[in-house]
């Protein structure tokens, strides 16, 4: 039996077979969980549906996390399919491309607000919708994906770093609110991964190679490693852990020079 045997998990943010959300969804399925996946728009639907079939996803549907009606519809569908929800993975982030290429100083009000809404506030909105379904199961666990740019100024990460800082603060406050209902909330801060979203970051490959050279393990993080830690945080193996940011980055975050 896997560590997620008999659990119901919703994974929000799968874009393709390179995304960390997909590695997490696949590991959840391998560990025995029933998995639901969401996608945003027709382009991503064509990529996500075959992946959903690969793991036998129970629920597959469209979800724009900036649309409260779509959030409500998604959780209504889950409530009609399952008797509750045990696990929620939030792997959603967005910033305008120019806001990742120009100086942070140049970000405008709209770009700033949009990045914060989709990358950070969406966790709050999803957690609020998940709360009653997790209560039905006697509790639950929520994991979101962050990055070192939340606590350090990483060149070209810009407004996304500010959004991830807000996201990690949301994790702490949500953990405080949801703890009495036995719902845990944690962030997983993964090392640089070659994903659809990272392709928008200027000089990403230079940064990734630098991390490999300077990390204590002298290599890059493997997506499978992030997935396994995420599933551990979602499972009862981490029953006493909440409000934390856990790093899976081959140790890079602890290095000085």
Give the tokens for residue 25. 């969804």
Band (204; pLDDT cuts 50, 70, 90) = low
What mean pLDDT comes out for the span 106-128? 98
Q: Is 12 helix (H, G, I), strand (E, B) or coil?
A: strand
Query: Is pLDDT above 80 for 201?
Result: no
Q: Which residues contact 96 (CB under 8 A, 6 or more apart)?
A: 111, 114, 115
| pLDDT (0 to 100) of residue 209 | 76
Residue 110 DSSP one-character state? H
39 assigned to active site: no
Average pLDDT over residues 80-91: 97
Catalytic one of 147, 205, 247, 252: 147
> Tokens 């945003």 — which residue?
40
157 is catalytic: yes
> What would you report as the CA-atom Rg of the chain, rounded to the nearest whole angstrom?
17
CA distance 123 to 119: 8
| pLDDT over 70 (residue 200) | no
193 pLDDT more than 70 = no
Report the pLDDT averaged over residues 36-50: 92
pLDDT tens, residue by residue, 234-243: 999 999 999 9
| Share above pLDDT 90 across residues of the chain, in percent, rounded to a whole number | 83
Domains of the chain in start order, with CATH, are 8-249 (3.40.50.720)
pLDDT score of 43: 87
- In the set 39, 121, 157, 173, the catalytic residue is 157
pLDDT at 14: 94
Lateral strand order in the sheet of 59-62: 59-62, 34-39, 8-12, 87-90, 140-146, 183-190, 245-248
pLDDT of residue 195: 55
Report the C-alpha gap between 7 and 9 in whole angstroms.
6
**Which tokens sit at 47?**
């990529």
- What is the mean pLDDT of the segment spanning 176-205? 79
């Amino acid at each position: 039996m896997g560590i997620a045997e008999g659990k119901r998990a919703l994974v929000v943010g799968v874009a393709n077979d390179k995304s960390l959300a997909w590695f997490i969804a696949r590991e959840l399925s391998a560990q025995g969980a029933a998995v639901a996946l969401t996608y945003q728009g027709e382009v991503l639907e064509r990529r996500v549906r075959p992946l959903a079939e690969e793991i036998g996803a129970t629920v597959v549907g469209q979800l724009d996390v900036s649309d409260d009606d779509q959030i409500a519809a998604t959780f209504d569908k889950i409530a009609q399919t399952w008797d509750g929800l045990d696990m929620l993975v939030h792997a959603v982030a967005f910033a305008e491309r120019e806001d990742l290429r120009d100086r942070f100083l140049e970000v405008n009000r709209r770009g700033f607000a949009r990045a914060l809404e989709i990358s950070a506030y969406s966790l709050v909105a999803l957690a609020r919708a998940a709360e009653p379904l997790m209560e039905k199961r006697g509790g639950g666990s929520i994991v979101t994906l962050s990055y070192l740019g939340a606590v350090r100024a990483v060149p070209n990460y810009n407004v996304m770093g500010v959004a991830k800082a807000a996201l990690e603060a949301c994790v702490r406050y949500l953990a405080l609110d949801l703890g009495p209902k036995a719902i845990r909330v944690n962030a997983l801060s993964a090392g640089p991964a070659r994903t659809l979203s990272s392709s928008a970051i200027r000089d990403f490959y230079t940064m990734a190679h630098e991390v490999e050279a300077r990390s204590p393990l002298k290599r890059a993080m493997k997506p499978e490693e992030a997935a396994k830690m995420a599933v551990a945080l979602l499972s009862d193996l981490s029953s006493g852990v909440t409000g934390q940011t856990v790093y899976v980055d081959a140790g890079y975050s602890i290095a000085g020079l």
